[in-house]
Amino acid sequence: MGKLINGEWKVRSIITSNDSGAYDRLPRTFLDTISKKDKLFQPESKRYHLYVSYACPWACRTLIYRKLKQLDNHISVSVVHPDMLEDGWMFDSSFPGATEDHLYGKKFLRQIYQKADSKVTTSVTVPVLWDKKTETIVNNESSEIIRIFNSSFNELTNNYEDFYPMSKRKEIEKMNQLVYESVNNGVYKSGFAQTQQAYDSAVTQLFTTLDYIDEILSQSKYLVGDEYTEADLRLIPTLLRFDTVYVTHFKCNIRRIIDYPNLLRYVQDMLLIEAVRQTYDLNHIKRHYYFSHQQINPYRIIPKGPVVYP
């Protein structure tokens, strides 16, 4: 694992922590948008490309939206190998489901970042939304890429389904903030904590929120009402990794999803959505976490189980 500093690859741990040993996520770098009003990035068919990992919960959000919004034929995809080692994400199609870099035949994802900006200082993360025309990264922040997919290509696809409807925006935002802090990022804060105190605090916050969500789901089908919205599509990739990875690998073991009646029902309902099911790959998920994070799993042994999960 590593980071680009002024365009040069420096090997370093993925576990970045602050003074109290709490995991600190680095901010993203490329934050442009695609819109008819944008001078540079216009919505066009076959102009954009996604670089993703099936293991990564953030990248899977963008894959889910690509399918839901019928963008499959308009936005192409390359999938990295699940192992993220000293060289960071790499392209190697020997693992089923992983692909070559379809655009440039590069070996490493960092070379795509370097192509966008030869002097960039950044983490090399997935997802990446790439513009084939100007040969640069439009955006590498999943929460923004899904908003772009939600609305910018509607005229092209004739799909006007809206997962961020005006009438529910306030509630969705509130839910997103809680879920991001304590669940999406909470599992990483638990797993990458370097002090007992940092772990205790993250894991407690995580399960307080899961208890609260289970309560909400006893009253309504989805997080914000009876139709699924962006809030659900941001949460589900984390829940789909919970019982197989986060419970053991990240020590999020106070309860499992299958112990929560409403959360279990909810995950099963979300799995009925084709776009969610088709982008869920347990082989990539298990291999990535258990094999890549050698600091917390030194012998890289991938557990066989569990037999039962949502």
Catalytic positions, written as ranges: 56, 188
Quick one: tokens of 236?
Answer: 């589900």
Q: Is the dihedral of CA 50, 56, 57, 60 positive or negative?
A: positive
* Minimum distance of ligand GSH from residue 237's CB (angstroms): 9
Q: 260 or 280, CB closer to ligand GSH? A: 280
Q: 11 or 40, CB closer to ligand GSH? A: 11
Identify whether the C-beta of residue 182 lies closer than 8 Å to the C-beta of residue 206: yes
CA 169 to chain centre: 21
Q: 51 or 222, CB closer to ligand GSH? A: 51
Q: Give, as one character, the DSSP assignment of residue 215.
A: H
Q: 124 or 231, CB closer to ligand GSH? A: 124
Name the residues that contact ligand GSH, by CB under 6 A: 1, 14, 28, 56, 58, 123-127, 141-143
Identify whether the C-beta of residue 153 lies closer than 8 Å to the C-beta of residue 63: no
CA angle 133, 139, 140 (to 5 degrees): 125
Residue type, 109: L
CA-nearest of 238, 244, 252 to 206 is: 252
CA-nearest of 67, 83, 129 to 103 is: 129
* Minimum distance of ligand GSH from residue 45's CB (angstroms): 24
Question: What are the C-alpha distances in Å from 68 to residues 125, 177, 273, 274?
Answer: 23, 23, 9, 8
Neighbours of 162 (CB within 10 A): 15
Dihedral pair phi/psi, residue 294, rounded to 5°: -65, -30
* Minimum distance of ligand GSH from residue 180's CB (angstroms): 9
Phi/psi region, residue 158 (left: phi>0; alpha: psi -120 to 50; beta: rest), is left
Q: Give, as one character, the DSSP assignment of residue 118.
A: T
Q: 123 or 176, CB closer to ligand GSH? A: 123
DSSP calls for 52-85:
E-SS-HHHHHHHHHHHHTT-TTTEEEEE--S--B
* Minimum distance of ligand GSH from residue 167's CB (angstroms): 26
* Minimum distance of ligand GSH from residue 276's CB (angstroms): 17
* Minimum distance of ligand GSH from residue 108's CB (angstroms): 12
Cα separation, 246 vs 190, in Å, equals 9
* Minimum distance of ligand GSH from residue 9's CB (angstroms): 11
